[in-house]
Structure formats: C-alpha cells, structure tokens
Chain A
Amino acid sequence: MPILLKIIKYQQHDLLRSKWVLVYAGVFFVLTDGLFRFGGDSGQVSLSLMNVVLFVIPLVSIIFGTMFFYNSREFMELLLSQPISRSSLYLGLYLGLSLPLSAVYLVGVGIPFIYHVGFAGTQWILLLSGVFLTWIFTGLAFLIGVNNDQRVRGVGISIIFWLFTAILYDGIIIFILFSLKDYPLEKLTIMLSLANPIDLGRILMLLQFDIAALMGYTGALFSKFYGTLLGSALVLLALSLWTVIPVWLGFRTFSRKDF
C-alpha cells in the first residue's frame, strides 16, 4: 500500500518538526544515562526505569495522541476528498504517530544501555513493554478522538482514562481483594490484571526479574500459576490484543464517520 506509506512519511515529517518529541527522547536519555552514572547495574537501572516507563509512556502517548488526532482534523478532511481510502488514512495516521514515538523511546533508553552494558543487559523486556504501551495508548487516544468531536472532551476523557489505569485501578483491585478475602480470588485477580494494560506491562517486567517480593499480588500469582515462560506468553498475548482491538474499533467508527 504505497499511499499508506506516503501518509506515514508526511505525518512523521510533521511530528519530528515539533520539539516535544525531541524533549521526550532527551528526558529518557538523560534519565537512563544518569541512573547508570549514579552507579546502578543493568538490573537496578531497569527496575528504576520501570516505574517511570509505566507512568510516563501511557500518559504521554494518550495525551499527545489525542492532541495529535485533533490537530490532524484538517489533514484528514483534506485527504478524504482525494482518492484515498479511509483505511489507509486511519492506519497511516496511527502508524505515523506510534512508530516515531516508540522509536524515540527506543533510542532514548536503548543507547545509554548499549554504551554502558552492551547488548547483554536486562533492557530488552523494558524496551518491549515501553513499545507496547506506546502502541496501546496511542491506539486508545485515536479511539477516544474519533468518538468525540469536541477537543476538550476528548482530552478530558484521555486524562481520566490514564488516571484510572495508572493509579485508581490498583486501588480498586486491592479494595475488591480486601472485601472478598474469604474467597479464593486467584482467577479473578488474573482476569482483572489482564484488563489493564499498565498492569500487564508491570507484570511482564517483574516476571523477568523474578523477585517475588516486588511483584505484588498479581505478579506473584502469575509466576505461581503459569511460571515465568507461560506467564510472559500470556501477558504478551494480552498486550497484543490491547494493541489491535482499539485500533480496529477506532477504524470501524472512522470509516462510518461524517466529516
């Protein structure tokens, strides 16, 4: 699909022109490099970065993604009157944002790892989770954007969604576990954590380090129930579904939308 590639090219061009993306890369670079210089080894740096990644990437991806979607309204209207299919336009816009954003993250975090510990470090799962979270939350941002014509409303929903998945969700899980503590809750807990992409990212990283004390309840359950390998595979599958389904739902609405 050459049209798709061309749309990605122009969106990427437009995106890299804005300085936000460079600031984003710079922050990751300075942070990673700084953690190494303060004397951390590969594992410690990965764990420290994990908390930043789990908060910052979803936040930036969903807010930036929603803003980007609204800012592209003109571009969409212009291109839709041209002989271009809606699927290549939507996918082009999505990939034109999610690919550069994840690439920028890979560069910002990956390069300090390479020159401090080479390729043998513990960074791979960290990088993978970050990329997944970028794709998932830009897809969700587009889904929110395509369903809300008002910019303020869309950005508001994005912030609430982030607050919910990043902060409130854990509280709710703990509350449920606490009030139902007389019952066996393992299956329920696993189901609940599959329903939150940020939790999935956390579990994926913690399974790798295999530190039960740090894993929390859900992480420990995963490693107990499925072992590291099967558990990771299950989490990866869930993350892939979280990537594909919002994009697909967004596209379905987009293809029927009036402009």
Chain B
Amino acid sequence: MVTSENFSLGLYLSFRIINEKKVRIYSGGLVNIRFNSSGNQILAELVWAEFVSPQVFLSTQQRHQLSMQTGFDRLLALEALPHITLYPHQQETVLKVLRDMGGRAVLADEVGLGKTIEAGVIMKEYLLRALVKRILVLVPASLVSQWFEELNYTLKIPFQVQNGSLPWTTDLIIASIDYAKRDPHRSQILAQHYDLVVVDEAHKLKNAATQNWRFVNGIQKKFLLLLTATPIQNDLKELYNIITLLKPGQLKTYREFKREFIKDKRTPQNVEKLHLLLQEVVVRTSRRETLLNFPRRLVKTLVVERNTQEAEFAERTFNYLRQVYNRKDGASKSVLPLIVLAREVCSSPAAAVATLRKIIAKSGSITASERAELKEIVAIGQNIGLSAKAKELINLITSTSEKVLVFTEFLQTQTYLAQEITRVGIEVTVFHGGLTLAEKDAAINAFRHEKQVLISTEAGGEGRNLQFCHILVNYDLPWNPMRVEQRIGRIHRLGQTADVLIYNLITRKSIEEDIVYLLQEKLRLFTDVLGGLENIITSSGDSFEKIIADAFLGSRSRLEATCILKRLGDDLLSRRSAYVKLQKHTDQILGVRG
C-alpha cells in the first residue's frame, strides 16, 4: 500500500512506505551526497610521495576537464562509436528522448528509418553516462539474433542472448518476449529492477488485456523504450494502451480519453490537444521529413539452365524428398530436414551431396532400396563438374573489376565456389560463422584492400562495414524474405554512395524461380525499402519457408504448387498494401507530415 509521507527526519529526509518497502526520499535539499573511495589511491600517492611531473599532473587535470559531461549537450555514444554516423533525424530523436522525454518514449519512426540504431545509441549513451546498468531487451523471437548482432557488433554493447542458461540478473540481456513472459521466467523478471527496458515491435502490446501488456507493465523499470512503426492498427484504444504502458496517466483514464479524444474507433477529436500530449511521449519521423535519398537497388535475375547431370541430380533428389514428405503423417511431420535438403539442392550439388551422405550413413533411418537410390544420386552429384550457376557467377565476376559480395547459405557451397573461382585466377576470401573474431576482421580487411570477391554465409557480415562494395550476388536464395533483406542490408545502408546491384542466380524451373517471383513481384523486396517485413510475413500462422516447402513437396503437380504460391503471393500483396495504409493512418493521428 502507498501511504503518504509517514514521518520525517529533520529538514530533508523523509521516508515513504511503498509496497511494504521503506523508500528514502530526499525532498527538501541535496543530502544524497556520496564520496567515491577510488580517490584513496591518489591520496596514497601523495602521502607516499609517488609524484608525477607538473606537466603530467596538469595534463591529467585538463583531460578530466575535457571529458566532463554536462547534460545531454553532446552524444558521448557517437564519440565512442566513430564508425557510426547518425542521420540528422536520428540524432534529433536520440536527443529528444534523452533530454525532453526522460528516457520514456515510443520510437515510432516510419519503417526503414533506423529505430533500432536510435534505441541502440540511447542505450549506449545511458551506459556511457552510467545512468543505467541493467538493460532488458524484449523482441520477437525472429529478431533476437538481429538485435544481438546490431548491439554487439555495431554498437559494441556486450549483450547476451537469453537461451535458458543465463540468470535474469544478468546486466545486459536480450530475450524473446514470448519466452520471457512464460513462467518461471516471468516471475523471475518481475522480481528484478531494470534500469532500462526496450521492447521491439511494441504494437504487440496494443491490448491491455493480453499477457504481453500485463507482463511489460509488471516489470520495474526506470526508463522504457517502445519501438513500433504502427502504434495504431485498428483502434485508438491500442494507442492509448501503449502510451499508458509507457507513462500511466499521460492520456488520463480510458474513460476520460474516450470522452475527450475519440470520435469513433479510428477517428480522433480534439486533434491538436491530442497531438500535444502525444508529442511528449512519441517520436515519429516520416520518410519525407528526413529528405533522405537512399541509393537505388537495381536487381537483375540471371536464369541459368542446368546441365543434364545437374538436372537429373535435382530431379531425383526432389523425387526422394517428395516420397519422404508424403510418407510422413501429420504428427511426425518434421519438415525442417527436408527443407534444408531442398535448399541445398537449389544451392549446389556439393552441399546436397554432403547431406545425402549423412543420411546414407545413418543406419536404420532408411530402407535398403532408399539407400541404394541415394547412393546413385550421390554418385551423379559427385560427377557434376562446374555447375551452370558457378559458371555464370565466374562470368559475372570476370566481367567486372569491382568488388563482388557473394552470399550463400551453405558452407559446402562456399568452399566449392572458393575453389572454382580461385581456379580461374581470381582472388577470393571467405567469411562464415566458424571464424574467430580476428579471422573475421582479417577476411573483411582482405576484401576491402586486396581480394575482389568475398563469399559469405548468412552468419557472416552482420553489422560489418561492407559499404565499400556495391555488387551483391545471391548465389542461392534463402526461403525467408527477412534473410534476403538482411543480406541486402549489408551493403544497402548508410554510407553507400553507389547504386546497389543485386544479382539473383537461379536455375530455370526451380523453386527459386517461384521464390524470386514472390519476393520481387509481390513484396517488391529487392527494389523497395519497405521495412516492417516481419509484420507482413508473420501475420499468417505458418512460416514462409514451410508454406513453400508444403507447396513443392506436398503438391501432386507443378500446377497445384503454382496455385498455392499464387495464393501466398496475393496474400502477401494485400498484407503489404494494408501495411502501407496503416502507416499513413498512423501519421495522421500522430500529426506527422507524410
């Protein structure tokens, strides 16, 4: 229970009993003065005559003077991170949150304007100024690794991912919100006191009756950042719930808010007053306001024809996959290994052969006839020399003197390509998750200064500076659009001055052909900076990958698969336009010039 000031001591000290805890409050003057004992070292030096020269003494004094922090007049984070340059709108947002909003804000910039980096810089700034020590970052599961890489590599904040092994008392922690809100984690988190909590995709907190909202509301935190490009989706109540979570009472009680500001569910009244109240807690910048000109993305899809052996290898592998897929009943249908193999076939025979060998080696998992069949497939795969895609890639590389960044999903493909490209006399360097930090740095440096080609896997290059290169080749295509976007994001980012050329290498009449169609024609992923992809592709139940796998492996004919993919494409298209509309509606309510 809260009781008002129970008793007071002297002029300054008073206590409050809050939830049965005695909290000391200094209400009348500054008495909370503490002396740091680290200066004892200096007194010891003075007493034991461990003196420095007057020059050193005075320069130390000057150094201290120069490093003094006075309010938030300058961003220390930017001085500590010289490789980061913030856009003016980002810098403005960061300063606004720190100075005017007191570290409690909804970062609602339009998609693609860098909310993550803004939140990261705010975190860094607070950490550098020792105003926060414990930070909890709650994000959707699919974004955990992206946040981890952004915070660790770009912003140099040593966050750890909660994978079940970390205690919740860890100072800097990233967790999936769905994981964190479940007991026993929930109760452990609610028992902590965090200095700063960051919630990405905060529109998932739009409903105050949900577990998500109650969970975040229950966390004790000094500062709170909520990141969402769409704080309003259908109803103004959603906006109210998000703001109330951030700053209870900012929009008064819901009944009062409704009476004062809601005309109907989606239309506000007293708009100017509402804008003023929202401006105290919401920062939103529209793309037009920033006057930013991102370099263009130019996409070219190179369709190659498989040679006879490759075609046979792919056909027979897919037949095998279809057999296995259709044999599995609903309950035991674990399609993930099948999806991986299917993707490997699309990538390179080398990658698929390695997996097929493993399947053959596993005794008991397949029948004797299947084993014989697989052995034959492996034999075909091994005899394929230079694949059509690899040949096309080499042609592409030799036709230009520019740096080329090649992405593949599989290590075997990476090794295979490195061998083939080196064979024609082109210098290549590789980058993958298995390298040590020093090796990774060396690989990037080699690519920057010496080698023409860098072959990287998905794990590679996250948060690394690769803007000096502007040609990207998708040697194989991930079946997850977010991964494709992340690949492009390696070079299509701040600091890129040239137009980005994206080459998609695909084989005719393959799954990749359909994926490219979906990504390009429906999502316009390669050419537009759409952002909010996570919202668009995950609003349906199944993952994108699974739908594609079901279409290809479960369909009885190519026509049926095409129909399924067409439906998926239409669905994506409508979700995309709904998302764009939503952004405009949000701008109107938040009073942002669109």
A and B from one complex:
no
Point out residues on B near A: beta carbons under 8 Å: none
Contacts from A to B (Cβ < 8 Å): none
